[in-house]
Structure 1
């Protein structure tokens, strides 16, 4: 089994490098694993190679943009069943399938379950590189969305209970005067709270705040 390339720790005060994308290959064919490793490394991708599903599940997956190149036929478990297992255990890996014995029902099942591509052996190197590139773009997008959601949640948690209450009312469409009547405050006090929560949430407009409330699931 080959692990991802080891990278030196950054010096104190040095800018932190963005981790290179990693292609995780799961196939019991040693020659194919090595060939794919060479192919992916030739375009600057890191690679992690596994011969069995058990090896992959026991490994610590790299915290970097990544995808899984997965053979349909594996010892002990089929690639399609492994795809189902990953989905059930919330392991978020865009998958590129490869097989020497593909058929339409198999392809349909894989794609309906979220596979990025389904390549039949022997495949062209460029087809594999294109499929992996598309999968990594998907994973990058998911990571960026999760990071944005996490940052938004942190901003929301920094609001006071009163500010959260007013945010819920304002984003539900109530005017300041109506909010004041609802919470038992003066209108000027509501305006102050509203200004503070807009600043804390980094919302430039009410529309921004409404979108944030929707993303957070804030309801009145």
Structure 2
């Protein structure tokens, strides 16, 4: 199922809470889907899902914090909003450190919930953009030959052309040719830009 509009995915074992949240969100004109537990959501998940996920912390089976870890492990880029009636400071700190957008307590005020949802949607767009940019960078680096990768690695480490030539057993001129091709293939404007591309592509893998 392809999500063309941002959608709020609710994972909460309490049917009354799910219904209440769905009503608040739908009244704001926002798409919403609800799931009774983590396993049901994970089974239904599709890479085209776009939006954010509201997760109850205390649930039978896989709890909310464990689901957050599972989303990270599976590289599911949906921003997380936690909603719980049993929150504490260590729990909220763990959730925020894990990348959660917010940690709300029940009963939640409609206006506060919607502010968090819209902030999560903005974060979702940023994450999708970052992922697309990283894929583009990685595809550029894949175009490099083995020798060009060796030259690039030494170059971004700060080695001079002379040092690179000596290290690889090639001429100074050959190093210059390789660097020129590297810049052309990656679209980098200078060595600092090239180093950024390498760093960000590594982070995105």
Which TM-score applies when normalising by structure 1?
0.76
SS in 1 for 2:5: coil
Cα distance between partner residues in 1 of 2:51 and 2:73: 19
Instruction: Mark the CA change 1:32 to 1:106 in structure 2 (over 3 Å): closer, same or farther.
Output: same
Cα distance between partner residues in 2 of 1:30 and 1:153: 44
Match of 2:144 in 1: 159
- TM superposition shift of 1:76: 4.0
SS in 2 for 1:185: coil
Q: How many residues align?
A: 202
Match of 1:114 in 2: 99
2:193 to 184, 208, 212: 208
Whether the 8 Å CA contact 1:102–1:120 is kept in 2: the answer is yes
Whether the 8 Å CA contact 2:38–2:63 is kept in 1: the answer is no
Instruction: Mark the CA change 1:62 to 1:50 in structure 2 (over 3 Å): closer, same or farther.
Output: farther
- Greater share of residues in helix: 2
Whether the 8 Å CA contact 1:22–1:62 is kept in 2: the answer is no
Match of 2:44 in 1: 59
Instruction: Mark the CA change 1:177 to 1:40 in structure 2 (over 3 Å): closer, same or farther.
Output: same
Taking the TM superposition and a 5 Å limit, the aligned residue runs for 1:60-139 are 60-61=45-46, 63-87=48-72, 90-139=75-124
What runs of 5+ residues in structure 1 fail to find an aligned partner?
Answer: 8-18
- TM superposition shift of 1:192: 2.1
What runs of 5+ residues in structure 2 fail to find an aligned partner?
Answer: none
Which TM-score applies when normalising by structure 2?
0.80
Whether the 8 Å CA contact 2:39–2:62 is kept in 1: the answer is no
Whether the 8 Å CA contact 2:81–2:104 is kept in 1: the answer is yes
Cα distance between partner residues in 2 of 1:181 and 1:88: 42
